[in-house]
Structure 1
Amino acid sequence: MEANQKLELVDRKHLVLEGVRRVESFDEKEITLDTAMGFLTLKGEGLHITHLDLQKGNLSAEGRFTGFWFTEAKGRGRGKGTGLMKRLLK
């Protein structure tokens, strides 16, 4: 898979994402993903994954999306929280 990422959001309800490597965690309020360009956290309400194809790197999700947070690919360690823990333990 190439190191490309594409995110499409329609009406804050329907999300299509390309470049997904792995789903780190998910529930109805948060989805955390390892993508081709780093980690991505999606926040919202009533979130659910409607399609996932890790071979092609595609993910579709629905719900009410309220925020997106990107974490750079450098230091790709164990996923969510790695950067924060390093800063706290310095």
Structure 2
Amino acid sequence: MPEQTGQKLWSPIDRRLVTSLIDKIVAVQLDLRPLCNSASPPADPERVETTIAAACDILQSAIEDLRNIIQRLEDLPSG
């Protein structure tokens, strides 16, 4: 029985949402890591602005994914 509950909790759609969320967070980390590394030479300001803007867009999408996951979890019957 517990296995069936786990399968219900992690339907393919939910797995895709979680995977997408993780991918987005990792992408933001990879994009921003070079900017946060003080050992690297300073980056071109235009490149920095573009990188941060792209990371913000991805992060906003990841936050929306997280909200969707939380909503689905809250909608599950307790038991």
Could you state the TM-score of these two structures normalised by the residue count of structure 2? 0.25
Structure index of larger Rg:
2
Between structures 1 and 2, the one with greater helix share: 2
Greater length-normalized contact order (CA 8 Å, ≥ 6 residues apart): 2
Normalised TM-score (structure 1): 0.23
